[in-house]
Amino acid sequence: MKLLVTGFNGFVAGSVIAQAKGKWEVHGIDLAEIPTNDPHIFYHKLDLLDDKKLTDLFRKIAPDAVIHTAAMANIDVCQNNQERAGQVNIGITKTIARLSHEMGAKMILCSTDSVFDGTKGNYCENDTPNPINFYAETKANAEQIVLSASDKNVVTRLSLVMGLPVMGQGNSFLADTIEKLKKGIRIPFPANEIRTPIDVITLGRALLELAGNQFSGIIHLAGNSKINRYQIAREIAVTLGFSPDLIQSTDSSAMEGRATRPNDVSMDNSLAKKTLRTPMLSLSEGLELTLNFKI
């Protein structure tokens, strides 16, 4: 079975690729090259905006499943560069959805809890998205594209992803937090933003399971702990033996120069618990798993 993963050098993709070893023939696409000695992992350096080269690659690989993690994910950058964000988050998704359908491949899109407006929390899969920033708008549009392209496709809405990079780079707030804590830097975290964080190892396992099973539609991949970002950071500090006083409470809505963020986009993970063999974990369980994970 052949698995194609976009965003090969990214945070989520790294977990997927590392845990797919021995189970899939993995093909990864990215602009930045990552050397690999694994005979079952193949790297393809490619700009996803190049439709012709992407089409040629799809036809050459003929994947059985595609996990689309690549995105322009910085909320503020998307807000200030809307044309580019639309090209990447909507345009590329449309191309990959079309090519996946043509090849008969199942496509799994990594979307976000931010498609919701954050006014009620505990969102389930049937709740209607109401994005309040441009990044979330692009993701809500991408969801509809993927679901319309094939009845075998999956939209995964990811909660805040926590963990350390397994392969490649990516944007890990945990790694950044640890570095600052080591230096004794006081770090602001918003107490108004409530999430249901999922660790990157569990997320990788869940995405791989979805690539290989019969589930289709929308599914929320989120942890079991409903908690604000300030409390998340304090628990991280305590777990790692740092003073929680280094974590400072702030209100993201009062921070200048930032796109609007939703407050409570905690998600109900009941469907994931019922559908997947991969267990959803609490914050402390997920933190322990990601800190001790070995390839």
CATH of 2-164+193-227+262-292, one of 3.40.50.720, 3.90.1640.30, 3.20.20.100, 3.50.50.60: 3.40.50.720
Q: What residue ranges do the domains of the chain occupy?
A: 2-164+193-227+262-292
Give CA 126 to chain center in angstroms.
Answer: 20
User: CA 45, CA 68: separation in Å to the nearest integer?
Assistant: 15
Averaged pLDDT for residues 217-240:
97
List the Cα angle 215/294/268 in 5-degree steps. 35
- 164-219 pLDDT, tens digit per residue, is 888 766 678 898 999 999 999 999 999 999 999 999 999 999 999 999 999 999 99
- 51-92 pLDDT, tens digit per residue, is 999 999 999 999 999 999 999 999 999 999 999 999 999 999
- 100-149 pLDDT, tens digit per residue, is 999 999 999 999 999 999 999 999 999 999 999 999 999 999 999 999 99
User: CA 58, CA 103: separation in Å to the nearest integer?
Assistant: 8
Q: Considering only the C-alpha atoms of the chain, give the largest distance between any 2 of them, rounded to a whole number of Å.
A: 54
Listed in sequence order, the residues at least 6 apart from 291 whose beta carbon sits closer than 8 Å to its beta carbon are 164, 239
Q: What is the pTM of this model?
A: 0.95
* 3-class DSSP state of 198: strand
**Which letter does DSSP use for residue 225 in this model?**
-
DSSP labels, 80-116: H-HHHHHIIIIIIHHHHHHHHHHHT-EEEEEEEGGGS
